[in-house]
Copies of this chain bind each other. A is one copy, B any other.
């Protein structure tokens, strides 16, 4: 069936391309159509033709060189250095025998591509190898290096995976698409272990697969994958909307459980998700509560991940097309738009989203080509969940820092590694650069540094304002001199004993990690300040401090010591990556087209129900609030 489809496509391609072009082979690689040719240079000169072909065939097209035209690697490297200007700062060149691509890593990838791709075309013309150009992050990222290494080393296996997947996706549909339904597998009427399962007569898609890190056992920590309709071996695709563990943390388990298919997400989500998954395994191991998967499964996940840019329409099953759109929550966070069947139904799953401009990101997208069912989060869906405006929050933060520094104190900001930390870094950098706060060192401890490195590797996903700064004004706030990476315990002691400073450290709720250590050192001095910028869960140390506890017993080298809290405790609201109640309601008003049905997820029971009934009363749109294990028909 697929071979017949390919035969047809090959005919069309040969007909449309200039007759000089020799098409060696045409095949599917995951969602993409790959054309192998002996004349890659001719094709690359005809960019418009390829774009038109892609549009007509409704396929994403990649051009690869036939093995026969490849230049010897050593010579090719020389040639590349000849063609590419020095200012591009190439840091690495490697060759992929399997895909016949040359992978060029450079600090300024734009200069390797050239104006309208001219330099890149020049490369393929001269050396045969098709260039794949990657950014060398200004802060080196261990995770990105690791991912790139894994993909390079497993190139052959990955090609096989993509080839099989391609054939599966491009099958004809077996059944009429006369229904579609969603099963709540986790994260409904609760926050944590988000997992939503879409079924049609032809395919089965999982949207997010998270863990509840606050769960006490298997039953409360993991999604209900034992739901009778779910089987990992007939799952077509997994879509991850963003990297936080409550959305991505259980993906490695899927591979342990027998899943062998693709994970779709943005590139930053893949990078950050890998970082968080590995950290999760580490922590669980240290705490002697091992997870039901290990590093091997994270690696398998990397090999099966297909990254998509925002707006890229992609076939992920014979009857389903996926497009990711910016969700404004963290770097790479996405809303998933699914086009089901021949336009029978369109749904959007928001994942976590922020419908407000932040320092880091643009607000969530509201316009979709078509939309019948909206599945939206409700973390701050309660009537009372109204947050102060962002500039108010920033002023509060600056005031606290200013006062603390003036009295010679230090500011500890416990913060989650991915998202809020970088948002604060951008704020601090600006206020220090513009002299509103005088220059003090800002110490970045733990995983925050690595997460920031990933941010610097993917500047295309940042807000327009930041992109302008980085690309046009040559100013990247993340690499400012004010930020110092903390390396080990000695440096920490220096910081504690040193001059006034600002410290960003994980965990965000003081439940462990270095932020807890800093707290112990700093809490008994009334000059210092502790600033909470994120949610403090019931039962966490952070929450107790918010409630005004002044004596805190903490374990230390086996004994318990009582700390007398004298430092200033401050909570600043308004930095959340979630839409508050007003933004959620406003989002529903603005989303276009107007959906016929809205399902509410990712919120405490009360907040889910409150938001649902408010939406229904205000906009007269049907709302549903399924429980985990319930199934709702959307078509």
Question: A-side interface residues toward B, CB under 8 Å?
Answer: 175-176, 178-179, 181, 183, 199, 201, 204, 219, 224, 226-230, 627-633
Contacts and interface: CB of A to CB of B under 8 A. Distances in A.
A230 B228 CA distance: 8
A126 to B, nearest CB: 53
B179 A199 contact: no
Contact of A629 (B204, B627, B630, B633): B633
Contacts of A183: 631
Contact of A201 (B201, B226, B229, B632): B226
Contacts of A229: 227-229
Contact of A228 (B204, B224, B226, B628): B204
Contacts of A227: 229
Contacts of A628: 633
Given A199-B228, A201-B226, A204-B228, A179 B633 contact: no
Nearest to A176: B219
Contact of A632 (B199, B204, B630): B630
A606 to B, nearest CB: 17
Max chain B C-beta neighbours (<10 A), residue from A175, A178, A228: A228
Given A179-B629, A201-B226, 16 more contacts: A175-B226, A178-B219, A179-B224, A181-B629, A181-B630, A183-B631, A199-B228, A204-B228, A227-B229, A228-B229, A229-B229, A629-B631, A629-B633, A630-B631, A630-B632, A630-B633
Contacts of A631: 183, 629-631
6 contacts: A178-B219, A181-B630, A228-B229, A627-B633, A630-B630, A630-B633
A563 B226 CA distance: 62
Contacts of A204: 228
Nearest to A219: B178
Contacts of A175: 226
Contacts of A230: 228
A199 B633 CA distance: 18
A224 B633 CA distance: 13
A317 to B, nearest CB: 14
Nearest to A175: B226
A558 B628 CA distance: 59
Nearest to A204: B228
Contacts of A629: 179, 181, 631, 633
A468 to B, nearest CB: 48
A224 B181 CA distance: 13
Contacts of A199: 228
A375 to B, nearest CB: 15
Contacts of A219: 176, 178
| CB-based closest 6 A-B pairs | A631-B631, A229-B229, A228-B229, A627-B633, A630-B633, A629-B633
Nearest to A231: B228
Contacts of A226: 175, 201
Contacts of A228: 199, 204, 229-230
A228 B182 CA distance: 11
Max chain B C-beta neighbours (<10 A), residue from A224, A229, A230, A631: A631
Nearest to A199: B228
A227 B197 CA distance: 14
A608 to B, nearest CB: 14
A634 to B, nearest CB: 10
Nearest to A627: B633
A176 B199 CA distance: 27
A173 to B, nearest CB: 14
A336 to B, nearest CB: 20
A128 to B, nearest CB: 48
A222 B575 CA distance: 54
Nearest to A179: B629
A609 to B, nearest CB: 13
Contacts of A176: 219
A179 B184 CA distance: 14
A178 B220 CA distance: 12
A177 to B, nearest CB: 12
A179 B204 CA distance: 23
A224 B219 CA distance: 30
A629 B633 CA distance: 7
A221 to B, nearest CB: 14
Contacts of A201: 226
Nearest to A628: B633
A629 B630 CA distance: 11
Contacts of A630: 181, 630-633
A227 B176 CA distance: 14
Nearest to A624: B630
A229 to B, nearest CB: 4
A210 to B, nearest CB: 19
A281 to B, nearest CB: 26
A129 B199 CA distance: 56
A630 B183 CA distance: 9
Nearest to A181: B629
A259 to B, nearest CB: 16
A329 B229 CA distance: 34
Contacts of A627: 633
A628 B632 CA distance: 10
A187 to B, nearest CB: 15
A504 to B, nearest CB: 41
A380 to B, nearest CB: 25
A179 B633 CA distance: 21
A497 to B, nearest CB: 53
A199 B632 CA distance: 16
A627 B628 CA distance: 18
Contacts of A178: 219
A371 to B, nearest CB: 20
